[in-house]
A and B are shown apart, each in its own frame.
Chain A
């Protein structure tokens, strides 16, 4: 696993006033870094190890029989005809949807950070809003809009006599939906890069003879390049490993991607877990390479130069293009938010699932808003929502605590294990959710503790999956809190633990609270990881919605539930922005 030895920590409260001049300033030794490393590794590396083991052993891990008979026979899955096609499809979708996301995100970032587009605050929100809508809800909504026969868009066009059919169950549909729902990530990264640019660098181009266009071409865009590349790779990995959108939109169109292929292997009967594991390893390798590439690019070329003077990034006057460009932003809002939500609401209030024309809605009794009330009172919704809340709150709290312990050890102590601790905590970034889900399933089936089938296993899974996001949130807060303040408390006679609790934690309260809320939101929207772990007793909201849509029978409830779910997500995403000083506002 890892080869880290830790020196036994010196007794912390040594009564001797250390007179050695060699180490004048003693750093706290860490809150027991080895047990911490053990916990984090167990959460993250063991599931990953199980996937690797399954890929090369004769049988999948089962309770009471982990077997180490190694074999290469499962590699045969590579010559199956579907594999190559799924890989190529995944790559095509990954690349084209990334380009689309960059185009949308880049356009909105440039428009809001650097131009005088009308209603800039609103356009900024347009760029952010799709974050509130989990991508699979977007996909489900678009399946209502764009299915070739019953899609609302197609019905509408038939009503208007337009002879054109949108088919969302296609490559085009998958790319469109993925691109739209991952655009906010690109938007946020590029927006901060473009608005932090030192305006002197651009002014210098103007003064030295460059026109506005030449300035953009030779200074502004090259300076934003690291952010553009970095967000491209980030978005690519997310899209490449995305399971639910492909499952909702690509599978009906007989298009396989790597994640849906893995899912099918797992759900085949008999289950083909070993082959799934082989495919998972391939997926991990691709994502790992891209992630490494992203880190290198971002580390090497960081041009974000912030000068001492007040920053006042120059805004380019768009002239007569102001309103046309604003209209483009509105089109994005329409496609990513307005139409999907409208489709969900319409599906939720429609009494009959069959509709030939929009005129059907005019018939008395065709629309019934009671479905929202019925869903809110249904056992299924109440159970899933209750489970979701319990799981999300517990896992966010545990995740925040663990992230704080790891963050403190990594950034505030000289513990030897801190490099390993940080590395292991970041591993889930490089492991696709579907793979981690498999690994967690096998891990907790095999473990001799009866956790499988309880909510606890979902909590453990969420803590493991969200470790990187939690650590990042805590790390930025820890790094901006001055260490001297805590050391000072120790100099004035407090024990280290006391100093942490009474100085550092209160100073970091905003950072800790927003990390907690972020984890809460991620837990509420996570679908792929619990997909292998839930049982009929442990439904959570995301799973319930997905199931109801997939099984087709309860379209109306599913849509109503989605709308309620979106409302919850919106509130949850709004809170951390209120807390976090609103620094993202333009």
Chain B
């Protein structure tokens, strides 16, 4: 069901965790709230679940207003029909797997046998039917995570909230479950909101990504949009762009770096007030000395299997990160190199987003 959040704010004591946030999640859409810890993303989610009382704004799920500060209306958590997967899983240790999954159904007064049948069905979907009678405290982290997911799906929630559900798992399992989660979400057409600080996870799971900084959404767009054109230097850094340099002066298609005697060519004329230039390590080309580009020395060289990661100190310039395909012609530490940066891969950005984007224009 569609979820509409209007001008939501939440403050603890004097600290404003969420500041006038607007967001609409379309029916069947998956939104990922991406941001560093403390940016207010979990607080936003807990407001939707009814676990926090917002200090202002309005939230509606489908046609039902579940919270409205104006009228003082606040539907208690257990009547909102919202599913939630907690970071700590919150699987009840004193119940078996199937009892955990049956809980929301029993709360809806579904008869025991019917509830059990339905629970087994959902457990089969997440691949845990063979562990149904196991005590929940005997499960591994990945299994608990699946139980938590099954428990929330069994209630057929209007919206499914996931609070960093994969962050306590090891890297391999995390990638497998990410694919599985996306598959289930799309197949079932679940309206969902996912909170994470991991940009890879966000790119994989989102229909749209909402970047949160300091209690507001600073960029909202499809994963491709956010990846290709971050709205600010801080967002770019967060999205894994390690080469961000302060701009001193810009003239036409040329920007001069503030801290180095170096200028770069851009594809489009730099706008006024440009503060930083950014380039992805993948877009930096490193060749043996004598080719086009800036001259420099390889300082660090890390072999990563399919690729090699370099840090090259440019002569009279900054140190640049580069990720190049592995293969013949790889450079060793101390070797001289030429570094080329294509003008079209350069992003010219403000440091921070000052005004929040108009939500509806970028709606999916």
Q: Which residues of A contact B (CB under 8 A)?
A: 198, 200-201, 203-211, 214, 218-219, 222-223, 225, 301, 303, 305, 307-309
Query: Which 6 A-B pairs have CB atoms at the shortest separation, nearest pair first?
Result: A209-B107, A200-B90, A204-B90, A208-B104, A206-B77, A307-B88
Some 10 contacts from A to B, beta carbons below 8 A apart, are A201-B90, A204-B92, A207-B82, A208-B104, A208-B151, A208-B152, A209-B107, A218-B103, A303-B137, A305-B93
Residue of A205, A206, A211, A218 with highest tally of chain B CB at under 10 A:
A206
Compute how far the CA of A200 lies from the CA of B89 in the bound complex, rounded to whole angstroms.
8
B51 in complex: contacting residue of A207, A209, A301, A305, CB < 8 Å: A207
Contact (A208, B92) CB under 8 Å given A203-B86, A214-B107, A218-B103:
no
**Separation of A218 and B93 alpha carbons in the complex (Å):** 12
Whether the pair B81, A209 counts as a contact (CB closer than 8 A) is yes
Partner of B86, one of A200, A209, A301, A303: A200
| Given contact pairs A207-B77, A208-B104, A209-B108, A200 touches B49 in the complex (Cβ within 8 A) | no
Are B87 and A203 closer than 8 Å at their CB atoms? no
**With A201-B92, A218-B103, A303-B93 given, is the CB distance from A208 to B86 under 8 Å?**
no
**Most B-side CB within 10 Å, residue of A208, A210, A214, A222:** A208
Q: Is the CB of B49 within 8 A of A207?
A: yes
* B78 in contact (CB, < 8 A): yes
Cα A403 to Cα B86 in complex, Å, equals 43
Q: In the complex, A225 Cα to B94 Cα: how many Å?
A: 10
Residue of B nearest to A306 (CB): B88
Contacts of B93 in A (CB 8 A): 201, 223, 303, 305
Interface residues in B71-88 by Cβ distance below 8 A to A read 76-78, 80-84, 86-88
14 new A-B contacts, CB < 8 A, other than A206-B76, A210-B78, are A200-B90, A203-B84, A203-B90, A204-B86, A204-B90, A204-B92, A204-B148, A206-B77, A207-B77, A207-B152, A208-B84, A209-B155, A214-B107, A223-B93
Q: Which residues on B are within 8 Å of A, measured CB to CB?
A: 49-51, 76-78, 80-84, 86-94, 103-104, 107-108, 137, 148, 151-152, 155
- Which A residues are in CB contact (< 8 Å) with B82? 207
Bound complex: CA A207 to CA B155 (Å): 10
Q: Which of chain A's residues have a CB closer than 8 A to the CB of B78?
A: 205-211, 214
Q: Which residues of B contact A214 (CB under 8 A)?
A: 78, 107
- Report chain B residues within 8 Å CB of A206: 50-51, 76-78
Which residues of A are found within 8 Å of B80, using beta-carbon distances? Answer: 207
Q: How far, in angstroms, from A210 to B107 measured CA to CA in the complex? A: 6
- The answer to whether A203 and B51 have CB atoms under 8 Å apart is yes
Inside 8 A of A303's CB, which chain B residues have their CB?
Answer: 93-94, 137
From B83, B88, B89, A308 is in contact (CB under 8 Å) with: B88
Chain B neighbourhood of A218, CB < 8 A: 103
Most buried by B among A209, A214, A308: A209
Interface-central residue, A205, A214, A301, by most chain B CB under 10 Å? A205
- Which of A204, A207, A219: most chain B Cβ within 10 A? A207
Judge whether A209 and B90 touch: CB under 8 Å: no
Inter-subunit contact B90/A198 (CB<8 Å): yes
Closest to A222 in B: B94
Residues on A with C-beta less than 8 A from B81 are: 209
* Distance in angstroms between the alpha carbons of A301 and B138 in the assembled complex: 12
Kindly report which residue of chain A lies nearest to residue B94, judged by CB atoms: A222
B92's partner among A219, A301, A307, A308 (CB-CB below 8 A) is A219
B88 touches A208 (CB 8 A): no
Chain A residues positioned under 8 Å from B92 (CB to CB): 201, 204-205, 219, 222-223
User: Do A208 and B155 touch (CB < 8 A)?
Assistant: yes
A269–B349 alpha-carbon span in the complex (Å): 100
Q: Shortest beta-carbon distance, A465 to chain B, in Å?
A: 37
Which residues does chain A contribute within 8 Å of B77, judged by CB atoms?
203, 206-207
Q: Considering only CB atoms, which chain A residue lies closest to B137 in the complex?
A: A303
- Set of chain B residues within 8 Å of A309, measured between Cβ atoms: 87-88
When distances are taken between beta carbons in the complex, the residues of chain B under 8 Å from A201 are: 90, 92-93
B351 to chain A, nearest CB (A): 31
Residues of A within 8 A of B90 (CB): 198, 200-201, 203-204
Determine the distance from Cα of A201 to Cα of B90 in the docked complex, in whole angstroms. 5
A303 to B92, CA, bound (A): 9
Chain B residues closer than 8 Å to A207, beta-carbon distance = 49-51, 77-78, 80, 82-84, 152
Contacts of A210 in B (CB 8 A): 78, 103, 107
Q: Closest approach, in angstroms, between the C-beta of B158 and any C-beta of chain A?
A: 12
Which residue of chain A lies nearest to B87 when distances are taken between CB atoms in the complex?
Answer: A309
Closest residue of chain B to A314 (Cβ to Cβ) is B51
- Nearest residue (CB) in B for A211 is B78
Measured between beta carbons, the chain A residues less than 8 angstroms from B83 are 207-208
Give the distance in Å from the alpha carbon of A308 to the alpha carbon of B90 in the complex.
Answer: 12
Q: How far is the CA of A214 from the CA of B109 in the complex (A)?
A: 12
Enumerate chain B residues within 8 angstroms of A208, measured Cβ to Cβ. Answer: 78, 83-84, 103-104, 107, 151-152, 155
Query: CA of A207 to CA of B77 in the docked complex: distance in angstroms?
Result: 5
Q: Which residues of B contact A209 (CB under 8 A)?
A: 78, 81, 103-104, 107-108, 155
B79, closest chain A residue (CB):
A209
Closest Cβ neighbor of B151 among chain A residues: A208
- What's the minimum C-beta distance from B119 to chain A, rounded to whole angstroms? 12
Which residues of chain A have C-beta atoms less than 8 A from B88's C-beta? 198, 200, 305, 307-309
Question: CB-nearest residue of chain A relative to B82?
Answer: A207
**Shortest beta-carbon distance, B129 to chain A, in Å?**
20
Question: From residue B101, how far is it (CB to closest CB) to chain A in Å?
Answer: 10
